[in-house]
Amino acid sequence: MTEGKFCQYCAQSRRCRQVWRQLGHIKGPSVAFGVVAAFLLPLLVFIISLAVFEKVLAEGQNINQLQTAISFLLAVLVTSIYVMIIKRNFI
């Protein structure tokens, strides 16, 4: 069903089109940086910090059984700190 046929039977079609037209012409600052900082960068921070902690712990002491768990917890800690900093500065 095309948009025209769908809207043809709607009682609110005129009002709906007006609202969508107004929303399309809103001018404001770009939210791209905030979206990247809130969603993409925490994932990257977690993955990079997990890799770094895995490498550092592998070169350090011989704790093979706990190495993955410790690396994961440290990566979660670093990511949590990052999220708190972003939340404080941008929200």
Q: What pLDDT does 1 receive? A: 43
Task: Determine contact, residues 49/78, Cβ cutoff 8 Å.
Answer: yes
Banded model confidence at residue 6, pLDDT cuts 50, 70, 90: low
- For 28-73, what is each residue's pLDDT tens digit? 777 888 888 889 999 999 999 999 999 988 887 667 778 889 999 9
What secondary structure does DSSP assign to 59-72, as a single string? HSS--HHHHHHHHH
* Domain spans of the chain, in order of start: 3-90
Banded model confidence at residue 14, pLDDT cuts 50, 70, 90: confident
Q: What are the contacts of 86-90 at 24+ separation with CB within 8 A?
A: 86/37, 86/38, 86/41, 86/42, 90/34, 90/37, 90/38
Q: What pLDDT does 2 receive? A: 53
Length of the chain: 91
Q: How large is the angle between the packed helices 41-59 and 64-90, nearest 10 degrees?
A: 150
Q: Would the pTM of this model clear 0.85, i.e. be above it?
A: no
